[in-house]
Amino acid sequence: MENVQLEESPVLEARQGVTLLVACFVGFFLSQIVAFQVASVATNTIAHQGLTHFLDHHFERPWWLTASEMFGLWLGFAAIVAFAMKTVRPVLPTGFFNVRWRDLKFLPLGVLLQALVGALYYPFHIESTSDPVKQIVGHNPAYGMLVIMFFVGIGAPFIEELLFRGVILQSMTAVLSPRVRALAAGLVPALLTGVVFGAAHGELVQLAGLALVGTILAVIVQRQRRIAPAIFTHAGFNLIALSVAWASVAVQ
- DSSP string for residues in 213-230: HHHHHHHHHHHHSSSHHH
**Residue extents of the structural domains in the chain:** 5-250
Give the closest residue to 166 by CA, choosing from 112, 220, 241, 110.
220
pTM of the model: 0.89
Give the closest residue to 107 by CA, choosing from 241, 244, 230.
230
Per-residue pLDDT, 2: 44
Helices (H), 9-141: 14-48, 53-56, 63-88, 106-121, 131-137
Cα gap 113→127, rounded to integer Å: 18
What's the helix, strand, coil split of the chain in %, to 5? 80, 0, 20
Per-residue pLDDT, 202: 86
Angle (CA) 227-232-236 rounded to 5° is 150
State yes or no: pLDDT of 136 exceeds 90.
no
Per-residue pLDDT, 5: 43
Cα gap 86→88, rounded to integer Å: 6
State yes or no: pLDDT of 1 exceeds 60.
no
State yes or no: pLDDT of 164 exceeds 70.
yes
pLDDT in tens, 20-42: 999 999 999 999 999 999 988 88
Q: Half-sphere exposure of 176 toward its Cβ, with a 13 Å CA cutoff?
A: 21
Cα gap 207→192, rounded to integer Å: 13
Q: Are 139 and 61 in contact (CB under 8 A)?
A: no
